[in-house]
Structure 1
Amino acid sequence: MKKRNRQAELIKQLSDRELTFHLLFTQGLMIGLSIILFWVFQTEWEHYLGLFVIDVKLFIIAVTIGLVVVGIDLILMKVLPAHYYDDGGINERIFSKRSFLNITFLALLIALCEEILFRGIIQTNIGWLWASLIFAVVHIRYWTSWFLIMNVTLLSLTIGWIFEWTGSLLVTIIIHFIIDFLLGLHIRMTSMHGKTVERNVDHG
């Protein structure tokens, strides 16, 4: 609980511009690390580019899985206590004030950078389990809650398994994008609704 409170205080101290900078900087680091590991593992370009394949069937699978994951999350948000999803206010700060286009851009950027690194580079070279666990560990802000730990670990294992099954990095990118995009929109809409209620109460 103390760690979560410290995390929340640190987030509150950041301006919107500083928060955006940290987000972009983190994604830039992931791309830089992907390039370094690509060279370290001596990955062949033809093999790597072969991961970026998709057809109609795989696209439908990706969209369906993304929507199912979001649906399960939204249901759990309704039935579980609010503190189960408390990450120290980071996701709320990231998405609550952003426009539709900004949320789309961020969700796409995060999906591309994280899937290229964790699935495209790490999983391809050291395996599904290790890549999935590293992905979960890197999302350190979720380690303030046992539920969030379990949530992100299961999601990482699932996306990693889907990559093993389909052999398509585009499938996992689409799934990742849909999850971040729709949950980002949910946070934005919930925030707007809360402000509307507050204004109605103030004027009531």
Structure 2
Amino acid sequence: MKKFDIRKIRFKKVTIDQIDDRLLLINLYATQAVTFIIGLIWILFQHRNPFLLYALPSGWKFLLWGLGLAAAVIAVDLLVSRFVPEEAGDDGGVNDRIFKNRPIWHIVVLSLIVSICEETLFRGAIQHNLGPYWTSIVFAAIHVRYLRHWIPTGLVFSISYALGWIYIQTGSLWAPIIAHFVIDMVMGFVIRFRRET
């Protein structure tokens, strides 16, 4: 039997164009599953009940905060994309590949999964230890495809900080989940239905 030699493992840089749609989706769903599992484990290590994080609060305050933040972020993002050159916001074509040819129902499902998984880890777990500022730095760093340009990096940091702030204001994880979901879904629709010039 041949021995496995870890030194023979080679990593090769792959561009988004070299990944087929199936592998892209597998990667997206796998990373979100890992994000969610790490978030739950982290919450358990904090001796907190993860089920309580998902309890729906009474009243509509959390919904208004989530929808209000989503509307503000979408408005700012659309303004930025109107006045800033496209190269300044380039993410390497990842968002186009994820959303451009996706059916509407799949954009909704992807947005929901991403918002629940990422908010569980970042607002539900990490922010409990680090606060919204350092959590937002980690959140921006995780979105590595934006790090080549300061405008999208700044936007991701600002959005993350705002998500953390509404979590503090409402005391409900559902406020940032709703905001994250609506932002991703609407921006996914913008990419999906954008006319090529």
TM-score, normalised to structure 2, is 0.87
Flag structure 2 segments of 5+ consecutive residues without an equivalent: 1-12
Change (3 A) 1:169 1:45: closer
1:168 paired residue number: 172
Percent identity at matched positions? 34
State how many pairs are aligned.
186
- Counterpart check, 1:85 vs 2:92: no
1:181 to 178, 185, 190: 185
> What is the CA distance between 1:73 and its match in structure 2?
0.6
> What is the CA distance between 1:133 and its match in structure 2?
1.6
Change (3 A) 1:12 1:103: same
- Counterparts of 2:58 and 2:70 in 1: how far apart (Å)? 16
Letter in 2 for 1:120: G
Change (3 A) 1:54 1:169: farther
What SS is found at the alignment partner of 1:98?
Answer: coil
What SS is found at the alignment partner of 2:15?
Answer: helix
Flag structure 1 segments of 5+ consecutive residues without an equivalent: 1-6, 198-204
Q: CA RMSD in A?
A: 2.0
Q: Higher helix proportion, which one? A: 1
Change (3 A) 1:54 1:124: farther
* Structure 1 contact 48–120 (Cα < 8 Å) conserved: yes
> What is the CA distance between 1:161 and its match in structure 2?
1.2
Could you report, residue by residue, the CA deviation over 1:2-60 in whole angstroms, capped at 9, with x for unpaired residues? Answer: xxxxx8x610000000100000000011111112212222214575355x425223312
- Counterpart check, 1:39 vs 2:44: yes
- Counterpart check, 1:25 vs 2:33: no
- Counterparts of 1:60 and 1:136 in 2: how far apart (Å)? 25
TM-score, normalised to structure 1, is 0.84
> What is the CA distance between 1:130 and its match in structure 2?
2.1
